[in-house]
């Protein structure tokens, strides 16, 4: 998950002057912003672009903010995106309903932008250790998001087949350790499946090809007659 000033925020609001005010101030603070003007658009944008945080207005055309919140929480792809509800209603029971439907925080209109941005930072800080520990694996500039099943290197999305994904996940869980072809077969393909050891080489080759861009260091080390490891080549 991106953190701090690189985080992306989806602003869901139908009132244009509030959208302008929020995107202007978020941009100025170094966030990247996206906008949805109604509830349905919010659901689509959240699923397709997976923002790091959503500022969600309560009163929206098509679907209410509360319903959007509820649907985002039901979908495994958007379940973990933190949500700050924005609303003109300040009553305690509405606040509780918002939290019950999965909002992480709540800001009452009219609000000060600096307070809202402080809340955004606080919610992101709370959310990122969870994502960092449980859902993401990292090595150098390679990040694997387990929940989203996505891999990137230096911000570039990397598309892997299921076998390459499992191989890389195993390497990321054990950086620096050397695994023989037989070990990798057991771990990645399972004991019951008969696969020739050289199949491992084919998938390692595919994984390398996907991971290593033109100017990038190869992070998979071939250990002669031993196997493979996730490691940085040390030039000699």
Scanning 33-41, 58-66, 67-75, 223-231 for contacts with Ca ion by CB under 5 A, the matching segment is 58-66
* Pairing, β 105-108 against β 83-87: parallel
Residues 176-235 touching Ca ion, rule: CB under 5 A, are none
127 token code pair: 């959310």
Cβ(70)–Cβ(59) below 8 Å: no
Q: Does 38 interact with Ca ion (rule: CB under 5 A)? A: no
CB of 110 to Ca ion, least distance (A): 13
CB of 89 to Ca ion, least distance (A): 11
Query: From CA 186, how far away is CA 157, in angstroms rounded?
Result: 28
* Pairing, β 32-36 against β 53-57: unpaired
Q: Does 41 interact with Ca ion (rule: CB under 5 A)? A: no
Residues near Ca ion (CB under 5 A), total: 3
| Helix, strand, coil tally for the chain in percent (to 5) | 45, 20, 35
Query: From CA 212, how far away is CA 208, in angstroms rounded?
Result: 6
Q: Does 21 interact with Ca ion (rule: CB under 5 A)? A: no
Residue 217: count other Cβ atoms within 10 Å of its Cβ: 12
Q: Does 14 interact with Ca ion (rule: CB under 5 A)? A: yes
Q: Does 108 interact with Ca ion (rule: CB under 5 A)? A: no
Judged by CB, which is closer to Ca ion: 7, or 63? 63
Scanning 3-11, 54-62, 108-116, 119-127 for contacts with Ca ion by CB under 5 A, the matching segment is 54-62
Least Cα distance to 99 among 76, 70, 122 occurs for 70
CB of 13 to Ca ion, least distance (A): 6
Judged by CB, which is closer to Ca ion: 11, or 204? 11
In the numeric block, the tokens 């953190």 are attached to: 3
Exactly one of 10, 42, 52, 57 binds Ca ion (CB under 5 A); that residue is 57
CB of 95 to Ca ion, least distance (A): 17
φ and ψ of 150, to 5 deg: -125, 150
Residues 128-157 touching Ca ion, rule: CB under 5 A, are none
130 token code pair: 């969870």
Exactly one of 34, 59, 146, 210 binds Ca ion (CB under 5 A); that residue is 59
74 token code pair: 């039901």
Judged by CB, which is closer to Ca ion: 14, or 94? 14
Instruction: Return residues touching Ca ion (CB under 5 A).
Output: 14, 57, 59
């Amino acid at each position: 998950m991106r953190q701090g000033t690189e985080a992306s925020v989806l602003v869901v609001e139908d009132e244009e002057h509030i959208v302008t005010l929020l995107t202007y101030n978020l941009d100025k603070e170094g966030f990247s912003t996206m906008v949805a003007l109604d509830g349905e658009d919010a659901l689509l944008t959240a699923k397709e672009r997976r923002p790091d945080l959503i500022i969600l207005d309560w009163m929206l055309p098509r679907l209410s903010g509360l319903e959007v919140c509820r649907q985002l929480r039901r979908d495994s792809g958007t379940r973990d995106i933190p949500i700050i509800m924005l609303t003109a209603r300040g009553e305690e029971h509405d606040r509780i309903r918002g939290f019950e439907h999965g909002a992480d925080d709540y800001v009452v209109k009219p609000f000060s932008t600096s307070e809202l941005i402080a809340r955004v930072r606080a919610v992101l800080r709370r959310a990122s250790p969870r994502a960092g520990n449980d859902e993401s694996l990292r090595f150098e500039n390679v990040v694997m998001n387990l929940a989203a099943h996505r891999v990137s290197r230096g911000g570039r999305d990397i598309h892997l087949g299921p076998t390459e994904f499992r191989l890389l996940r195993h390497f990321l869980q054990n950086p620096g350790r050397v695994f023989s072809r037989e070990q990798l077969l057991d771990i990645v393909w399972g004991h019951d499946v008969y696969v020739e050891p050289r199949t491992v080489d084919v998938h390692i080759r595919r994984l390398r090809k996907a991971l290593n861009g033109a100017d990038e260091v190869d992070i998979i080390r071939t250990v002669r007659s031993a196997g493979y490891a996730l490691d940085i080549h040390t030039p000699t």
